[in-house]
């Protein structure tokens, strides 16, 4: 299975998310097309057929954790996938690999697939914190902080090396290894056949450019 994930991050308002969802609802592709929305907009995806993702989850079960959104609540809203450990979460919110591992456990207990974001920096600490069973049931996204929000991906040869390294860390047993960082319609072709999926932010904000990325990665046949 191939995956293309639109990470809308902390962008857009209700009417903009609604219009994005209707524009992207019918993108034809053999990939699973997932949109990761901010918490307040998750409920808007109900009447659309896109797969729904969240951008974060609580490391705790339901209970007295003010401000936390737990996995049961996400599942209640139709969330099937959830990004965790995105480099922006690790950088700006100081998330640790242990917290990310706890989030993954919580998500799996609610039947949500974790999409665990990793970069070179925390590879060994992240995998040391994950159980074998968790790895098997998760997707991984390789990202480089300095390549996020730009126009050029990390050199393809480096991505190839990193995917091979991640396959070692996962014993080739995860649900798939994705790449994220400056993916856009102009460079998507170079990633076909190299990665199991894409994590796209900047180029996903405009529905037309997101559709081009999806179709460039995995045309409907
Ligand atoms: P970008 O971001 O597509 O804007 O480079 C990717 C990401 O942060 O997941």
Quick: pLDDT tens for 162-204: 999 999 999 999 999 999 999 999 999 999 999 999 999 999 9
The catalytic site residues sit at 86, 143
CB of 114 closer than 6 A to ligand 1? Answer: no
Mean pLDDT (the chain) is: 96
Q: How far apart are CA 9 and CA 169, in angstroms?
A: 28
pLDDT at 220 over 90: no
| Least confident interval from 39-53, 110-124, 137-151 | 137-151
- Determine the atom of ligand 1 nearest the C-alpha atom of 7: 9
The tens digit of pLDDT for each residue in 115-147 reads 999 999 999 999 999 999 999 999 999 998 888
Q: What pTM did the predictor assign?
A: 0.97
> How much is the average pLDDT of 99-124?
97
CB of 148 closer than 6 A to ligand 1? Answer: yes
CA–chain centroid gap for 116, Å, is: 7
- Determine the atom of ligand 1 nearest the C-alpha atom of 183: 3
CB of 151 closer than 6 A to ligand 1? Answer: no
> If you measure from the C-alpha of residue 35 to the centroid of ligand 1, how many angstroms do you get, rounded to a whole number?
13
CB 58 within 8 A of CB 114: no
> How much is the average pLDDT of 213-220?
88
| Least confident interval from 5-19, 141-155, 171-185 | 141-155
> How much is the average pLDDT of 61-82?
98
CB of 201 closer than 6 A to ligand 1? Answer: yes
- Determine the atom of ligand 1 nearest the C-alpha atom of 184: 3
Give pLDDT, residue 174.
97
Percent of the chain, pLDDT > 90?
A: 91
CB of 200 closer than 6 A to ligand 1? Answer: yes
Give pLDDT, residue 76.
97
């Amino acid at each position: 299975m191939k995956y293309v994930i639109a990470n809308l991050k902390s962008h857009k308002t209700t009417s903009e998310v609604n219009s994005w969802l209707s524009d992207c609802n019918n993108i034809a592709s053999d990939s699973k097309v997932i949109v990761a929305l901010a918490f307040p907009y998750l409920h808007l995806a109900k009447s659309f057929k896109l797969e729904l993702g969240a951008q974060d989850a609580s490391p705790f079960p339901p209970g007295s954790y003010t401000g936390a959104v737990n996995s049961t609540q996400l599942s209640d809203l139709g969330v099937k996938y959830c990004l965790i450990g995105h480099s922006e979460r690790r950088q700006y919110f100081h998330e640790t690999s242990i917290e990310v591992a706890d989030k993954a456990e919580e998500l799996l207990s609610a039947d949500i697939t974790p999409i665990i974001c990793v970069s070179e920096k925390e590879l060994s600490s992240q995998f040391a914190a994950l159980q074998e069973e968790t790895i098997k049931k998760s997707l991984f996204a390789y990202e480089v902080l300095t390549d996020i929000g730009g126009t050029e991906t990390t050199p393809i040869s480096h991505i190839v090396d990193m995917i091979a390294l991640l396959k070692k860390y996962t014993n080739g047993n995860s649900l798939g290894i994705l790449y994220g960082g400056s993916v856009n319609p102009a460079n998507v072709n170079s990633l076909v056949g190299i990665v199991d999926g894409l994590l796209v932010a900047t180029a996903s904000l405009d529905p037309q450019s997101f559709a081009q990325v999806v179709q460039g990665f995995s045309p409907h046949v």
